[in-house]
């Protein structure tokens, strides 16, 4: 069976993928994550997931000849067709929180599984509703340090989860890797999951 590589250094994605019971390695796939002119959020997320997987394959091609599968993923928080990245400052974070406060936004997660000759892709949309936030709550959350490396400025699996009043869709996709869709793609690539859960 071909080896599986996760083209991500995200601890959240590593933990989620590990739950599927498949051995894998990780590598950092550094790509330009800039949004292209007039690029729609869904197209952006799909493109980045594929670009990360392809960047991982290119890195591996320099060090090994054996074919393997590379899994890339990208998650973006979207509201009013605006992609919210990782906040670079407290002011930027507060602007994001004011947009999300008391409203429902979308979390888009794209996944791409590629080998030398094949490619499987999917994109998952989840809706997340926030409570109305006070300026004091926003400031306290910023001081926790959690928002710094999170798309949209919050982590649903951490302290930011207290702001979430409702989620429609895939919780694991909001965290960073949709388990159901990832398992399905791995099944298409002939991987076997723990406890014989595949194929499905």
* CA 20 – CA 79 distance, rounded (Å): 31
Cα dihedral across residues 26, 111, 109, 63: positive or negative: positive
Report yes or no: 164 and 152 within 8 Å, Cβ to Cβ. Answer: no
Q: Which residues pair with 128 in a beta bridge?
A: 105, 167
Element (H, E) at 50: helix 41-61
State the helix-helix crossing angle for 90-100 and 135-143, rounded to 10 degrees.
130
Return the active site residues.
74
């Amino acid at each position: 069976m071909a080896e599986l590589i996760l083209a991500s250094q995200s601890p959240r994605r590593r933990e989620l993928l590990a739950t599927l019971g498949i051995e894998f390695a990780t590598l950092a796939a550094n790509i330009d994550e800039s949004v292209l002119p007039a690029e729609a959020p869904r197209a952006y997320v799909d493109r980045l997931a594929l670009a990360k997987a392809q960047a991982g394959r290119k890195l591996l091609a320099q060090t090994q000849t054996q074919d393997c599968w590379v899994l890339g993923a990208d998650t973006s928080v979207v509201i009013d067709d605006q992609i919210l990245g990782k906040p670079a400052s407290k002011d930027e974070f507060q602007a994001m929180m004011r947009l999300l406060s008391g409203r429902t936004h979308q979390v888009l997660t794209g996944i791409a599984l590629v080998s030398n000759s094949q490619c499987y892709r999917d994109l998952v949309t989840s809706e997340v509703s926030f409570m109305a936030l006070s300026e004091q709550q926003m400031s306290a959350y910023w001081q926790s340090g959690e928002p710094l490396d999170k798309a949209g400025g919050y982590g649903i699996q951490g302290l930011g989860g207290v702001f979430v009043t409702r989620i429609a869709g895939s919780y694991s996709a909001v965290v960073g890797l949709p388990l159901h869709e990832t398992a399905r793609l791995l099944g298409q690539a002939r991987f076997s999951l723990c406890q014989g859960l595949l194929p499905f």
